[in-house]
Structure 1
Amino acid sequence: MQYWYGQLGEQVSRTIYQRLPAFKWRNFRLFFGGQLLSMSGTFMTQQLTIPWLIYDLTKSAWLLGLAGFLQFLPTLLLIPFSGVLADRWSRRDLLMLVQVLGIGVSATLTALTFLDTIGFGSLLILSILNGMLKGLDMPIRHTIVTETVDDRTDWGNAIALNSVMLSSSLVLGPAIGGILIATLGVKYCFLYDTLSYIAAIVTLKAMQMPPKSPPVTTENDTWLKLREGFQYVNTMQPIRIILLMLALHGLVGISYIAVLPIFAAEILHGHATTMAALGMAGPIGSLCACFYLSMRRGILGLERLIRVAQAAIGVSLISFALSRQLWLSLLTLVMVGGFGILQITSTNTIIQTLVPDDKRGRVMSFYALAMVGMMPFGNLLAGSLAQVMGAPNALIVCGSVCILGSIWYSFRVSQISCWIKREIDSPIVSG
């Protein structure tokens, strides 16, 4: 019997490694498991608990949008510097440092809510601190993925599975958060987030990665590295185009998140459970899209997928804005999340596969800047438009801009396809 179980386990492992080759690598398995738990707590706090608590305290769409803007503003400022650090220092050690700092912020939120002394001002300050940590975290988190996989041919699968992990966390976090809010209260959401950081620290510590020698730097080296990364992105027109599309998605394609509490409470006449359901719908779509991408091989064709995804996001946002039924709203948000992750991950895979390793951290900082750095402006835009013309009309405007962006990109996609084919055939990439 023991022999039979051993044979079955070997066969299952062989099948998994054949379909999902990134899981062959121990470091990737540790990273995937630890970050799944840690990010579920992070997304529970950022996507559900803090927005719901802010709207519950203020009942103001504009303050909700302002809080989202201020939360992500430090992200916008710190991401480029994080990209320089990711190219110069140990990415694992940097990520561990961010996790340790994150425990401090989350523990403070936990203490304030358990003591029932939380207010809008303290929420805002701690949200800004979270934004600072996210600015340091994002480029490092994306670039370390390829370090956990020793075979370059498995990079695409690792990047797709990293998106699976993030999307699963987006589903798991709000789902648990909705249950905790409905049964025990928001304070236990913050407690869960605090404890979830421990899993990330333990698994990062267990990863066996070669040491990275600290570089010899000069006083102006950081600014020179920033300028070098900017010049590279600026001269590579295909990268610039897909990053502009990603920035548009960050500005208007994800802006619906800022006004979800309004739809949950006023448009659909629900409560915290409704908010949790709406918050989970997008990640469920993302998860489905990630499974598709994890089975896909090669990067050719991903540039055309970006065009389709951008247009579909716009149509889905408009449909969500017009919906007054919960089931239809959930369905449209599943579409938004699914097509959103297709665009985000396709951009990520193209960049990480084709950009030289010595510039990857800085280019990925521009990737993170385009995606998350535009979110504060998207949150402020959505909140301001919702205050002036109502939340449904605000999302109709955002969806229309997404469709116009897809039309603009359509005239440039052939140029990007030619660049990808040329880079794939070059000896540097193929080697």
Structure 2
Amino acid sequence: MPPALRALASRNYRIYFAGQLVSLAGTWMQQIAMVWLAYRLTGSALVLGVVGFASQIPILVLSPFGGVLIDRFDRRRLLMLTQALSMVQALLLAWLVWQGVATPTHLIALAFGLGCINALDVPARQAIVVQLVDDKGDLPNAIALNSFMMHATRFVGPALAGWVVATAGEALCFLFNAASYLAVLLALAAIRLPATTRRGPAAPPLQALREGVRYTAGHRHIRASLLLIASLSLLATPYTVLMPLFAKEIFGGDARLYGLLMGTAGCGALGGAVLLALRSDTAGLGALVGRMAPLVGLALAVFALSPSLWLSVPALLVLGFAILLCVAGSNTLIQTAVDNDYRGRVMALFTMAFLGLAPLGSFAVGSLAHAFGVRATLVACGLASCAAGLAYRRGQRARAG
């Protein structure tokens, strides 16, 4: 394999990659269609924030307990369970919309149900990667390829979803997503992992959870990475819940423009993932993350103040690029530093910081935008993100020294 694709030389990872590639495209289509449907039904920034809150708040509460399960049980079987449940959720959503009976209450309830599933699914997908590569030296490349896959589909999925919603309605997006889960279920069934004598921690679940938190808090590099991710999740990534307002009310577009804006950020993230995949090792990665962290806030503020699409598009490209390097770079630094006995619990805390805190940010951003306006809210978020990034960069230099 070329150096940028070296993790694909492992059969198990290659099969997993192919299945996830299809499934994640469907996931992005559903996410875009769900947000647009909520906006079409209500026209409210507050409801957009509530839907985002409901889809991710279970991750904040439940993912640490999911990490304990991941360190105890077979990760492949856990993933097959979560993917099957996600398929059921997508089918139910498609049926409600097809029948014309979907309401904001339905969307919030189904978003909450998917969040409960993802509290186990997301950290399990992070933790299983180390088992799928034959050469553990390929782990950083596998993580980079995971990011590439997620954001390649983030580029294609929203654009396709915008076209499907505009021409055929949201229900078809949900149906496509349900069908896409078949690909990952087949891939997981085809994976052949060596027999292990995996045993969960001897400690009771709550004690095992405390041990994982104590291990994370005592590891300064992992702790710093998680604090950075938590800051970006609260301050920067919630900008996505306001995208329908930018598309329709500020730029006068429709679902196609919404998909284009989201796809533009995804394209920038795709470039960041390619850059990570081309790296041969983790040397200098911490410094790179330190440079990108303040850039996230700067790009967000520029996008919020942009008077036209001509400036918004490059700002979103930079924003997606910088966020990807911060998140995926931090993921790589954590995965290469963590003790395998704690991997599930630490990746659950990573998931909680990245996705679990996002609903608090989504709810706050939606509420503030409703009260003070979209632009003012995102400018404030951008400035706060920049300050958090500068603090991480200063600490990173101290840790490197």
Q: Scaled by the length of structure 1, what TM-score is found? A: 0.90
Helix, strand or coil: the match of 2:281? coil
Could you tell me how far 1:297 is from its partner in structure 2?
1.8
The corresponding residue for 1:310 is: 293
Could you tell me how far 1:210 is from its partner in structure 2?
2.0
Q: 1:179-205 deviations in whole A, cap 9, x for unaligned?
A: 111211111001100100000100110
Aligned pair partner of 1:279 in 244, 254, 262: 262
Q: 2:108 corresponds to which letter in structure 1? A: L
Task: State yes or no: 1:122 paired with 2:106.
Answer: yes
Aligned pair partner of 2:160 in 169, 176, 189: 176
Q: Please show how residues 8-407 of structure 1 align to structure 2 within 5 Å.
A: 16-46=1-31, 48-213=32-197, 215=199, 221-407=204-390
Greater Rg over alpha carbons, structure: 1
Q: What's the Cα RMSD here?
A: 1.4
Q: Distance in 1 between matches of 2:200 and 2:23?
A: 34
The 10-residue stretch of structure 1 (113-122 or 325-334) with the greater mean CA deviation from structure 2: 325-334
Q: Distance in 2 between matches of 1:409 and 1:287?
A: 24
Q: 1:394 corresponds to which letter in structure 2? A: T
Could you tell me how far 1:375 is from its partner in structure 2?
0.5
Are the structure 2 counterparts of residues 184 and 142 from structure 1 closer, same or farther at C-alpha, using a change threshold of 3 Å? same
Q: 1:109 corresponds to which letter in structure 2? A: L
Could you tell me how far 1:17 is from its partner in structure 2?
3.9
Could you tell me how far 1:214 is from its partner in structure 2?
5.7
Helix, strand or coil: the match of 1:20? helix
Could you tell me how far 1:386 is from its partner in structure 2?
0.4
- Asked if the contact 1:258–1:379 (Cα under 8 Å) also holds between the matched residues in 2, the reply is yes
Q: Distance in 1 between matches of 2:369 and 2:98?
A: 32
Q: 1:247-269 deviations in whole A, cap 9, x for unaligned?
A: 00111110100111111111111
Are the structure 2 counterparts of residues 213 and 315 from structure 1 closer, same or farther at C-alpha, using a change threshold of 3 Å? same
Q: 1:312-358 deviations in whole A, cap 9, x for unaligned?
A: 11111111111132232122111111110100111111111111111
Could you tell me how far 1:411 is from its partner in structure 2?
2.5
- Asked if the contact 1:283–1:334 (Cα under 8 Å) also holds between the matched residues in 2, the reply is yes
Could you tell me how far 1:216 is from its partner in structure 2?
6.3
Q: Note the residue ranges of structure 1 that are not aligned, 5 or more in a row.
A: 1-15, 419-431
Could you tell me how far 1:276 is from its partner in structure 2?
0.5
Helix, strand or coil: the match of 2:133? coil
Q: 1:230 corresponds to which letter in structure 2? A: V
Q: Please show how residues 405-424 of structure 1 align to structure 2 within 5 Å.
A: 405-417=388-400
Are the structure 2 counterparts of residues 415 and 238 from structure 1 closer, same or farther at C-alpha, using a change threshold of 3 Å? farther
Could you tell me how far 1:119 is from its partner in structure 2?
0.9
Q: 2:368 corresponds to which letter in structure 1? A: L
Could you tell me how far 1:283 is from its partner in structure 2?
1.1
Q: Note the residue ranges of structure 2 that are not aligned, 5 or more in a row.
A: none
The percentage of aligned residue pairs carrying the same residue is: 37
Q: Distance in 1 between matches of 2:2 and 2:196?
A: 28
Q: 1:324 corresponds to which letter in structure 2? A: P
Could you tell me how far 1:407 is from its partner in structure 2?
2.1
- Asked if the contact 1:250–1:374 (Cα under 8 Å) also holds between the matched residues in 2, the reply is yes
The corresponding residue for 1:421 is: none
Helix, strand or coil: the match of 2:356? coil
Q: Distance in 1 between matches of 2:320 and 2:288?
A: 15
Could you tell me how far 1:118 is from its partner in structure 2?
0.9
Could you tell me how far 1:390 is from its partner in structure 2?
0.4
